[in-house]
Structure 1
């Protein structure tokens, strides 16, 4: 860390001493905000907002949600999390809902593509049993406004982006059940689901 951050240092009586000012500055943002009184665990965020573990880590990293560590467990600011995710809470006025299977069948989207859309856009959702459901009105509106179409890589594009051989790429596709389609004589691979394999969030 001290090398990567170019922390100033001096040699004193045979010992290396690092700049206190620079070390404190680097770690200051990692200290818990003393004004935050309530905290969520990852499981509590997952339960309340119907998110996967990877989605929670991506969200907290992307929005810089204040966090703290206690006894080996990470906690996230309740107020900051709720502020950014409140749009995900279901509106009691919403009467029609899609399941993931409904969306996949209707729009011919890969499940990973749908999950990515729901994560990046404020689509209200609810949970019934162990299944998630998404507002039909809001999802249909999103598709209309953005004129969405499924995103795919060609084999060559995927190999180039992730520096893979053809055999290694196909191994990942088979092992992770990445959706693919045949377009003429070309094979195309679901972009969001392949990206999800190689762009996992860093868990701290």
Structure 2
């Protein structure tokens, strides 16, 4: 009695003429042979580039990505960050030496990241040498960090989930993962937000549009002014706010209601002088001047004194 078997290619049952028969028909045997050759050719096509790359000293970005087992975009990122050296031959051709890849890997050994310690930022070669000397002389104490959950960051600092993810990745904010939840270093988050003072103590805030209405400052001017004078800011759901108290102290808005000062427009209308003449007079006679927003305030007593002197001289 002949035995029944299952075809190794199509899976159908058939009656085998001999114990060595694997396929139900000649067609299945030919198709199985073609599939085997295709698998061998695919393996050869996959291995051959790697074998060829291993014999090359100068690699293109695509071959370097194959050698390192990463994407070509990541190679571009390493070159842009200065971590991997590349030589540009022309506007469309650049090469990477195998020795530079090996040197990059040797200079960056794997270190286990401890979440309770601030990560060390990449520095230049000279700074690394000075840091090593300072560490040998006096070891710096490790700083213990406090962590808050991602939900607390979103509710406390009024930021978006996308901002927290990208900022934590870009600035290497230490993260702890407990029970599937991410916890972020509170000091690092506040440093990225620019929270150098007690934000809770500030009660009055102004948006960029409100700053323009109150002080007459354009958005680019207020950004530079806040950075230069360290004005506290906060960001809630993508909207930037500035401390009104600090702006009032710096811009001296109370002088607008002070009777001792007058504007340039007031002096121009009262004495019939142009703004250029008023500027020249205040510079020559050293009249006290204060700038509030886009307006210049002049001391009224000095203006009256100078104008009396000019009238006595017949000017």
TM-score bracket for this pair, using the shorter chain length: 0.3 to 0.5
TM-score by length of 1: 0.40
Larger RCO (alpha carbons 8 Å, 6+ apart): 1
Higher helix share: 2
Q: Which structure has the bigger radius of gyration?
A: 2
